[in-house]
A and B are shown apart, each in its own frame.
Chain A
Amino acid sequence: MSLALSSGPHTHSMFTVSRTMIAVMTCLAPATLIGFLHFGLPALFLFVVTIASALAFEVACLALAGRPIMRFATDGSAVLTGWIVAMTLPPWAPWWIGVLGGGIAIVLGKHVFGGLGQNLFNPAMVARAMLLVALPVQMTVWVAPMDPNSGPGFVEALAITFGSGPQIDAVSSASLLGEVQSGLDAGQPLSALLAPEALSRQLWGGVPGSLGETSAIALLAGGLCLVLLRIITIVVPLAVLGSLFTVSAIAWTIDPESYLPPLLHVASGSAMLCAFFIATDYVTAPLTGLGKALYGTGIGVLIFVIRTWGAFPEGVAFAVLLMNACTPLIDAYVRPRIFGRTRAGQPLEIRGKA
């Protein structure tokens, strides 16, 4: 009889890496679909190209590293990374941006550090930040959302994604945050820049922006599902959105003419995507509850700072990367208390018995 001889436990929960990844993707799907509805077929093409690129680079890296390709490539982590990269790209960006994004995320963001679980920075945010710095024009051309029926046809869509895209200028528009920033820079008061229905449009997604920036409500719903499935804890989203809300509320109360209202901050840009799907990335976030709270708060505050005073209208990628760098430090200092010991590691005193 040949019995597997290994130490206990001999039973296991249903929780596995690929199941986790699939659950995250499922929760991300509604927001993605709404994005497709708003931005039409080019968005879908870009999405497919980005994921395919991420997967291809993953396979190539695994082959180079001599690792089991089938087991690692099918764990879903590369697909999820590609998915999140696609969510942060302008929906009508040319195909090579998607390929580049997937490649940077997988090669520079993940495998250079040693592959799954080893990376210090969130791969998708590495890609997003590098593209934003290297290709500022292509990365900030947004299309206005359109009626699904009047969007580009199949051939037209192919031309937008895979051809040279002269039509882009025709539909280009600015995202809310970009518009506000350039407006404020030009000295206009905020009340003149904001349409009254701005908030509801941000919530439902009828705004120019990247795929993942559009429907805050769909992202919120997906994120809450993740919390209910116990894939993530509520701590990080709460800390990110809470601190962003608080800081922007303070600023807005002081000067409503130069600072965006807090709800708009929370609902716009990729704040919601970040709070539930990016900042909660297991690999690059701290492990303890308190550590997560610190990390999330840091991200929220940094998002506000970069949006308000930084050179870029959107600061999620940089905020996440900066806090990623702090994660090892947070984990080294914020540790759970060991049973039977004080926080300092000394055995507990016996109370009332000594």
Chain B
Amino acid sequence: MNLSALLSRLDPGRVFGIGGGVHPKTRKSLSARAAIEPMPLPPLLRVPLQQHIGVEAEAIVQRDDLVLKGQLIGKARGPVSANIHAPTSGRVIAVGHFAAPHPSGLPVPTITIRPDGEDRWGPRLPRLRPETAAPDAIAAQVAAAGIVGMGGATFPSAVKLNLRDRYALETLIINAAECEPYLTCDDRLMRERAEEIADGAAIMAKALGVKDILIAIETNKPEAITAMRLHDVALGYKIRVKTVPTLYPMGSEKHLVKALTGQETPARALTAELGIVVHNAATAHAVHLAVRYGEPLISRVVTVSGRGVARQANIQALIGTPVSDLLAHCGGLVGEPERLLLGGPMMGQPIQNQRVPVVKGTNGILALTKAEARTDAVMPCIRCGSCVHVCPCGLMPFEMNARIQADDLEGASKTGLMDCIACGCCSFNCPSNIPLVQAFNFAKGRLAERKSREHQQQETKRLAEARQAREAAVAEAKRAAMAKRKAEQAAKKKKADEAKAAKAAAAAAAKAQEGAS
């Protein structure tokens, strides 16, 4: 045990500092007082087959199939993938493509369901008794329920629960920091369903085989802290509720681990290498539902906020509900919003099309007005260094941006581009309003593209060589066949010649004989 771990044991309330970070206006009060409310069934549900990091699920229903609530409609493919379930009962009206809830709006494989209004459950997953269940069984149940990280990263949770095989794990951290401004879905979930979250956390701890559970909540959520403190024992596990300072990006996995334990995760490594696994609070809630009740992940709490929407709310929305229906349920938009976002204002993604669906990783829908959004004109960099000052990763964003602008992507990557977590602190604070994060996202994408092209080039070379070898083999075979034929013909000719010669010789001999006789 190292010094920082020892210190955190000695003083359980101790929180370590992280470098950098910013204090954006949280504006959580817009929706923090709105209790989680259900929503009437929307007329259509569009369920994308890829709502997670990894390989997309495979559709196992066809057009005109009738599906029941909770029925498996997309099957996970490979180890890093996730099941997709029907959010309600109804008829599949299309298995095709629809715009992704993504800034590009590119079409992605989507199953469209017209609900029949009965919301009839199909057979649920077999329930597990977490008290007696084996860790493998819990992880398998989580995988069957299609649970992914609900904080936005959408990494299949079962994969993370299986990390116990490879690492010596000690601690489970439930990430309830919710450092993004505006978002209150985790806050409301903790206030209203603290017991379920605690139970889900304990189930996950059991699956991971760890004894120590921490739940990290930012200081600006006192009600949630109180609620979680009331329910800090589950399945015989004691859950330590830790308050962390309100500082963006406290919810970044590696920074949260640093703040709670003082340990810094090495670059390009997993927190599991430190013996720590981090899961989101909403994920814990989904695990509770999946294990105790056999309910797959078919709905989630979504914060609808921003001053561009008539009524700010926290809504229990079915996966696949179009954004437009959620907005309409909240009284619609007030005028034309400046930005329409999925997720928080710091790392959320803008969308072009209001009909895109809510997916497993959608924690918020924000309609930002001009006054809330970043609209100032871009000015030249004045080297004020505020980006360097606030970067939680210790990078020099202005310098990386200058390199990217000069097309020196290799240089940018040497100065730390791949260590950037795209948290947005630099752009948030930039007095010249330079779109630093966009430049970094561009550079990361371009570098990945180059890498794949390089790979393709090697592949091309291999293919070309294979083709040349094949052509050479074919030519060789032809030549061999030709030579064989030639040889045969030559042999034939020779034989014929020999026969002729023999004949001639015989004739000559006969003649000679005749002559002699």
Interface residues of A (CB under 8 A from B): 1, 3-13, 15-17, 19-20, 71-72, 75, 77, 115-118, 282-285, 287-288, 331, 335-341, 345, 347-353
With contacts A4-B339, A7-B438, A338-B395 taken as known, whether A347 is within 8 angstroms of B268 at the C-beta atoms is yes
A335 surroundings in chain B (CB, below 8 A): 396
B396 surroundings in chain A (CB, below 8 A): 287, 335-336
Extra A-B contacts (16), CB below 8 Å, given A4-B375, A8-B424, A12-B428: A3-B339, A7-B103, A10-B341, A11-B181, A15-B386, A15-B429, A116-B382, A118-B380, A338-B395, A340-B268, A341-B267, A345-B416, A347-B269, A350-B269, A350-B274, A353-B275
Does B302 belong to the interface (CB within 8 Å)? Answer: no
Beta-carbon nearest neighbor of A77 in chain B: B382
Listed stretches B18-26, B153-161, B458-466; interface member? B18-26
- Whether A20 lies near B419 (C-beta < 8 A) is no
- Whether A9 lies near B427 (C-beta < 8 A) is yes
Distance in angstroms between the alpha carbons of A347 and B268 in the assembled complex: 7
Does B1 belong to the interface (CB within 8 Å)? Answer: yes
- Whether A9 lies near B374 (C-beta < 8 A) is yes
Distance in angstroms between the alpha carbons of A353 and B380 in the assembled complex: 46
Beta-carbon nearest neighbor of A289 in chain B: B389
Minimal beta-carbon separation of B298 from chain A (angstroms): 28
Q: What are 5 A-B contacts with C-beta separation under 8 Å?
A: A1-B340, A8-B350, A9-B347, A117-B383, A336-B391
- Whether B347 lies near A12 (C-beta < 8 A) is no
With contacts A116-B382, A282-B385, A340-B267 taken as known, whether A9 is within 8 angstroms of B437 at the C-beta atoms is yes
Beta-carbon nearest neighbor of B377 in chain A: A71
Distance in angstroms between the alpha carbons of A298 and B202 in the assembled complex: 58
Does B266 belong to the interface (CB within 8 Å)? Answer: yes
B433 surroundings in chain A (CB, below 8 A): 12, 16
Q: B349-391 toward A: CB 8 Å interface, digit per residue (1/0)?
A: 1111010000000000010100011111101111111101001
Instruction: Name the interface residues of B175-194: CB closer than 8 Å to any CB of A.
Output: 181
Minimal beta-carbon separation of A220 from chain B (angstroms): 22
- Whether B22 lies near A13 (C-beta < 8 A) is yes
Minimal beta-carbon separation of A186 from chain B (angstroms): 45
Report, nearest first, the 10 A-B pairs whose CB atoms are least far apart.
A9-B424, A7-B438, A287-B385, A340-B267, A12-B374, A347-B266, A348-B266, A282-B384, A336-B394, A11-B345
Q: B411-430 toward A: CB 8 Å interface, digit per residue (1/0)?
A: 00000100100101001111
A12 surroundings in chain B (CB, below 8 A): 373-374, 376, 427-428, 433
Minimal beta-carbon separation of B274 from chain A (angstroms): 6
- Whether A340 lies near B368 (C-beta < 8 A) is no
* A10 partner, pick from B265, B339, B385, B416, beta carbons under 8 A: B339
- Whether B382 lies near A283 (C-beta < 8 A) is yes
B255 surroundings in chain A (CB, below 8 A): 339
- A10, A72, A341 — which one has the most chain B CB atoms within 10 A of its CB? A10
Minimal beta-carbon separation of B392 from chain A (angstroms): 7
* A339 partner, pick from B264, B350, B422, B437, beta carbons under 8 A: B264
Does B456 belong to the interface (CB within 8 Å)? Answer: no
Distance in angstroms between the alpha carbons of A25 and B337 in the assembled complex: 36
Does B273 belong to the interface (CB within 8 Å)? Answer: yes
Distance in angstroms between the alpha carbons of A251 and B100 in the assembled complex: 72
- Whether B339 lies near A7 (C-beta < 8 A) is no
- Whether B437 lies near A7 (C-beta < 8 A) is yes
* B429 partner, pick from A13, A75, A116, beta carbons under 8 A: A13
- Whether A338 lies near B419 (C-beta < 8 A) is yes
With contacts A17-B382, A282-B383, A283-B382 taken as known, whether A340 is within 8 angstroms of B266 at the C-beta atoms is yes
A283 surroundings in chain B (CB, below 8 A): 382-383
- B265, B266, B391, B437 — which one has the most chain A CB atoms within 10 A of its CB? B266
Contact size range, B? 35 or more
Does B348 belong to the interface (CB within 8 Å)? Answer: yes
- Whether B254 lies near A16 (C-beta < 8 A) is no
Beta-carbon nearest neighbor of A349 in chain B: B266
A7 surroundings in chain B (CB, below 8 A): 103, 435, 437-438, 441
Distance in angstroms between the alpha carbons of A239 and B31 in the assembled complex: 47
Does B393 belong to the interface (CB within 8 Å)? Answer: yes
With contacts A115-B380, A116-B379 taken as known, whether A350 is within 8 angstroms of B432 at the C-beta atoms is no
Distance in angstroms between the alpha carbons of A171 and B373 in the assembled complex: 57
Minimal beta-carbon separation of A229 from chain B (angstroms): 13
A20 surroundings in chain B (CB, below 8 A): 384, 431
B275 surroundings in chain A (CB, below 8 A): 353
A115 surroundings in chain B (CB, below 8 A): 380
- Whether A339 lies near B345 (C-beta < 8 A) is no
Beta-carbon nearest neighbor of A287 in chain B: B385
Does B338 belong to the interface (CB within 8 Å)? Answer: yes
Does B336 belong to the interface (CB within 8 Å)? Answer: yes
Beta-carbon nearest neighbor of A335 in chain B: B396
- Whether B350 lies near A3 (C-beta < 8 A) is yes
With contacts A13-B24, A287-B396 taken as known, whether A75 is within 8 angstroms of B264 at the C-beta atoms is no
- Whether A1 lies near B383 (C-beta < 8 A) is no
Minimal beta-carbon separation of A119 from chain B (angstroms): 10
With contacts A10-B374, A11-B345, A16-B433 taken as known, whether A340 is within 8 angstroms of B265 at the C-beta atoms is yes
- Whether A288 lies near B388 (C-beta < 8 A) is yes
Distance in angstroms between the alpha carbons of A345 and B350 in the assembled complex: 34
Distance in angstroms between the alpha carbons of A350 and B275 in the assembled complex: 10
Instruction: Name the interface residues of B9-64: CB closer than 8 Å to any CB of A.
Output: 19, 22, 24-25
Does B94 belong to the interface (CB within 8 Å)? Answer: no
B429 surroundings in chain A (CB, below 8 A): 13, 15
Minimal beta-carbon separation of A115 from chain B (angstroms): 7
Minimal beta-carbon separation of B431 from chain A (angstroms): 5
B132 surroundings in chain A (CB, below 8 A): none
Distance in angstroms between the alpha carbons of A16 and B349 in the assembled complex: 24
Beta-carbon nearest neighbor of A75 in chain B: B379
Distance in angstroms between the alpha carbons of A282 and B388 in the assembled complex: 13
- Whether A9 lies near B354 (C-beta < 8 A) is no
Minimal beta-carbon separation of B398 from chain A (angstroms): 8
Minimal beta-carbon separation of A22 from chain B (angstroms): 12
Beta-carbon nearest neighbor of A71 in chain B: B377
With contacts A340-B264, A347-B269 taken as known, whether A1 is within 8 angstroms of B354 at the C-beta atoms is yes
* A350 partner, pick from B268, B273, B382, B398, beta carbons under 8 A: B273
With contacts A4-B338, A7-B438, A20-B384 taken as known, whether A341 is within 8 angstroms of B419 at the C-beta atoms is yes
- Whether B393 lies near A282 (C-beta < 8 A) is no
- Whether B428 lies near A11 (C-beta < 8 A) is yes
Minimal beta-carbon separation of B260 from chain A (angstroms): 15
* A17 partner, pick from B269, B431, B438, beta carbons under 8 A: B431
- Whether B428 lies near A5 (C-beta < 8 A) is no
A117 surroundings in chain B (CB, below 8 A): 380-383, 432
Minimal beta-carbon separation of B350 from chain A (angstroms): 5
- Whether B266 lies near A9 (C-beta < 8 A) is no
With contacts A20-B384, A117-B381, A350-B266 taken as known, whether A6 is within 8 angstroms of B438 at the C-beta atoms is yes
Does B2 belong to the interface (CB within 8 Å)? Answer: yes
Distance in angstroms between the alpha carbons of A299 and B435 in the assembled complex: 34
Does B234 belong to the interface (CB within 8 Å)? Answer: no
Beta-carbon nearest neighbor of B442 in chain A: A7
Distance in angstroms between the alpha carbons of A336 and B24 in the assembled complex: 23
A285 surroundings in chain B (CB, below 8 A): 383
Distance in angstroms between the alpha carbons of A121 and B164 in the assembled complex: 57
Distance in angstroms between the alpha carbons of A317 and B403 in the assembled complex: 31
Distance in angstroms between the alpha carbons of A67 and B274 in the assembled complex: 53
Does B125 belong to the interface (CB within 8 Å)? Answer: no
